[in-house]
Amino acid sequence: MNPVHHPYIFETRRWQRNGSFCPARDSKEYKLTGVIQCTRNTTEWQVNNVMFVALNQPLRIAMLHTVQNSQSNKTEVTWSSYNTEFGTMDGRFVIFSDIISSTWTSDNGFSSQVLSTKINDQKYQETGVVFTPQNEIFSQWTSIITPV
């Protein structure tokens, strides 16, 4: 199987997201927007992900992933991040064909699974879920990601 080229996350580029977000506490869908700035060069590799949720009181979720800088043809890379709600997170991106899987666990017991499926070089479909330390769904979302 030939490796699939993934511009999302692996190349320096700015992306936008549009979709829906569902916190488990009320099971309603809310408009989700956001920006993802991927920066990759010989000295750094970062994915700055900011999501905005149109709740009654708007919610901003921000995570700056610092990725272990390695070869772009690797099928697995690790990253770390910090978020005020989830704490310190350790995660990894795993590539399988047209899917980028991102998983993480935090030092306070939260965890997540995100699947970004490549539609083409200009479009990804992303679906994600965050779990509480008790392994219950905390929130979930789906979005379309396109370059800005």
**Per-residue pLDDT, 26:** 86
**Per-residue pLDDT, 142:** 98
Conformation bin of residue 97: beta by default, left when phi > 0, alpha when psi is -120 to 50: left
Q: Give 86-118 pLDDT, tens digit per residue.
A: 999 999 999 999 999 999 999 999 999 999 999
Phi, psi of 11 (to 5 degrees): -125, 150
**pTM summary value:** 0.91
**Per-residue pLDDT, 43:** 77
Residue ranges for the chain with pLDDT beneath 50:
none
Kindly give, in sequence order, each residue whose CB lies less than 8 Å from that of residue 29, ignoring residues fewer than 6 positions away: 20, 21, 22
Domains annotated on the chain, with CATH = 13-147 (2.40.128.20)
**Per-residue pLDDT, 74:** 74
Q: How far apart are CA 48 and CA 79, in angstroms?
A: 12
